[in-house]
């Protein structure tokens, strides 16, 4: 039996790097320190694998050679006038770099899951600027934790244990020295564990944020209630925020994907900026997929933009709402889609999924999904952080190394290698033509 220490968990944006993985006969038999989500992936990653490359013929997917799949994929992308490349949040940093190069080569659009989750948070950084730090800094110093539209207990099971509310730091002794305030529309598991739960009305985050900023400035709010919360409670909350030594707001899709979206985030970033006139305050998105932050990082290095990047003009063009995948598909502009490690068919609106199916669809994925089931080309790949190594970014922007724990199955390879093969074939076809 081989034991791997300090393994990075490839599940959520926490990227917990204290996992101990035991491997016997090329099989993971134990994942110590992992949460339920992490342990499930480590112990069951090999279930429901795509056994072989496939191409759809007369409506039926049939096994073929990897070379045939690569050639068919390249032909589709070269023929397409406006192809989409989407996903990559479960891939390594190295894979993302190749995907950007491929998108540029075929003159398409590169987008990732950010456009349907934390996109407004990324835009808030552009609009206002982000007062942020590391999860380690929060663990050691924060005495006030705010979860705003973020259910940390369920989405990131070890977040509070390792980085925030119950974690023991150099200057904080767990929950004895911290307060947890949850602001949400429903009483989540995180809210049940909190010192204070403030329930606001659905879609009223922006109004509540502005009222809180007003109270923070010691100005009078001209209402009895805002977003269903009495003004007296808002004023008390403002005082708690002002008087803390080191505070942080973690926000989730409960504020990015509701009424207000980007305006909500602009308000939260502005609130954090206001608070820094009184005390030390940070704000951080509670990112979901384990390397979704990495996709944004790499895309920004390479193109200047984090997601929804149109490379069809010979230079990067970025305009969310115009260059985001759902908007492009809704307008009927794309004529081919390459999906890497994602399942848009299962998660996009039904009307968008139907349009996606009506154009050539290619999937690169380790396991079966609704998207792979309807794809014209399916290329099996291996799991980052389990079957191949590389780099990934934690939700706070810290880059961490992924380890190879087991050998990948036959007929599979990393996203990086698959994308490099497609890129080489695309260039070959373009040269011939």
Alpha-carbon distance of 418 to 64, in angstroms, equals 15
User: Is residue 8 within 8 Å of 16, Cβ to Cβ?
Assistant: yes
Helical ranges in 247-324 per DSSP H? 253-256, 262-275, 292-303
Residues 264 and 317 in one domain: no
Together in a domain, 336 and 410: yes
Question: Residue 88: which CATH number?
Answer: 3.40.50.740
Q: Are residues 105 and 185 in the same domain?
A: no
Task: Give the whole-angstrom CA distance, residue 78 versus residue 182.
Answer: 49
CA quadruple 236, 238, 243, 246: dihedral, nearest 10: 130
Are 200 and 338 found together in one domain? Answer: no
Q: How confident is the model at residue 118 (pLDDT cuts 50, 70, 90)?
A: confident
Q: Tell me if 113 sits within 8 A of 292, measured CB to CB.
A: yes
Confidence of residue 431 (pLDDT cuts 50, 70, 90): confident
**277 and 136 in a common domain:** yes
CATH number for 255: 3.40.228.10
Beta bridge partners, 57, equal 60
Residues 344 and 349: their CA atoms lie apart, in Å, by: 9
- Give the span between the Cα atoms of 251 and 273, in whole angstroms: 15
Q: Are residues 377 and 273 in the same domain?
A: no
- In a 3-state reduction of DSSP, which class is residue 387? coil
- For 309, which DSSP code? E
Could you tell me if 63 and 103 lie in one domain?
yes
Measured CA to CA in angstroms, residue 215 lies from 64, 154, 211, 229, 405 at distances of 65, 31, 6, 13, 53
Do residue 138 and residue 86 come from a single domain?
no
Domain limits for position 294:
51-115+290-432
Burial code (b: 16+ CB inside 10 Å, e: under 16) for 165-195 equals bbbebeebeebeebbbbbbbbeebebbebbe
pLDDT-derived band at 163, boundaries 50, 70, 90: very high
The first and second tokens of residue 124, run together, are 């808030």
pLDDT band at 322 (very low <50, low <70, confident <90, very high): very high
Contact status, residue 343 vs residue 375, Cβ threshold 8 Å: no
**Phi–psi pair at 90, nearest 5 degrees:** -105, 10
| Of 256, 285, 314, the domain-final residue | 285
Q: Confidence class of residue 124 from pLDDT cuts 50, 70 and 90?
A: confident
Using CA atoms, how far residue 165 sits from 246, 398, 422, in Å, is: 13, 20, 46
Distance CA 339, CA 357 (A): 12
Q: Is 262 helix (H, G, I), strand (E, B) or coil?
A: helix
Higher pLDDT, 123 or 231: 231
Tell me how far apart the alpha carbons of residues 69 and 79 are, in angstroms, rounded to a whole number.
Answer: 15
- Looking at residue 84, what is its pLDDT? 98
Could you tell me if 190 and 253 lie in one domain?
A: yes
Domain co-membership, 248 together with 367? no
* Total domains present in the chain: 3
Give the pLDDT confidence score for residue 262 in this predicted structure. 74
34 and 58 assigned to the same domain: no
Domain boundary among 228, 257, 285: 285
Whether the per-residue pLDDT at 298 is higher than 80: the answer is yes
Token couple for 32: 């110590």
Looking at the structure, tell me whether residues 278 and 295 fall in a common domain: no
């Amino acid at each position: 039996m081989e034991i791997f220490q300090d393994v990075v968990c490839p599940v959520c944006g926490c990227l917990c790097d204290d996992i101990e993985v035991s491997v016997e006969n090329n099989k993971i038999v134990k994942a110590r320190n992992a949460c339920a989500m992490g342990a499930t992936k480590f112990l069951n990653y090999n279930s429901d694998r795509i056994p072989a490359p496939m191409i759809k013929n007369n409506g039926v997917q049939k096994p073929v050679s990897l070379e045939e799949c690569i050639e068919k994929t390249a032909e589709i992308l070269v023929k397409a006038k406006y192809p989409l490349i989407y996903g990559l949040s479960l891939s390594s940093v190295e894979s993302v770099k190749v995907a950007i190069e491929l998108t540029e080569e075929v003159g398409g659009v590169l987008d990732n899951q950010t456009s349907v989750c934390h996109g407004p948070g990324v835009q808030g950084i552009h609009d206002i600027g982000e007062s942020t730090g590391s999860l380690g800094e929060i663990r050691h110093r924060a005495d006030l934790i705010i979860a705003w539209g973020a259910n940390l207990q369920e989405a990131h099971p070890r977040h509070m244990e390792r980085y925030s509310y119950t974690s023991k730091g150099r200057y904080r002794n767990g929950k004895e020295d911290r307060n947890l305030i949850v602001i949400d529309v429903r009483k989540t598991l995180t809210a049940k564990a909190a010192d204070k739960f403030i329930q606001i009305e659905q879609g009223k985050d922006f109004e509540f944020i502005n009222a809180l900023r007003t109270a923070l400035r010691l100005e009078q709010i001209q209402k009895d209630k805002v977003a269903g919360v009495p003004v007296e409670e808002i004023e008390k909350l403002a005082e708690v925020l002002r008087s803390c030594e080191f505070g942080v707001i973690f926000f989730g899709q409960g504020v990015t994907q509701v009424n207000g979206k980007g305006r909500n985030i602009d308000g939260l970033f502005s609130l954090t900026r206001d608070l820094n006139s009184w005390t030390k305050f940070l704000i951080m998105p509670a990112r979901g997929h384990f390397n979704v932050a990495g996709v944004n990082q790499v895309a920004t290095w390479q193109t200047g933009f984090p997601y929804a990047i149109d490379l069809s003009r010979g230079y990067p063009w970025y305009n969310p709402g115009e260059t985001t995948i759902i908007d492009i598909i809704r307008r009927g502009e794309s004529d081919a889609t390459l999906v890497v490690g994602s399942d848009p068919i299962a998660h996009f609106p039904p009307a968008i999924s139907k349009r996606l199916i009506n154009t050539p669809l290619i999937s690169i994925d380790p396991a079966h999904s609704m998207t792979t089931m309807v794809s014209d080309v399916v290329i099996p790949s291996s799991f980052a952080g389990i079957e191949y190594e590389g780099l990934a970014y934690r939700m706070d922007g810290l880059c961490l190394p992924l380890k190879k724990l087991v050998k990948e199955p036959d007929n599979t390879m990393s996203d990086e290698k698959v994308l490099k093969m497609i890129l080489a074939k695309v260039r070959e076809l373009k040269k011939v033509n």
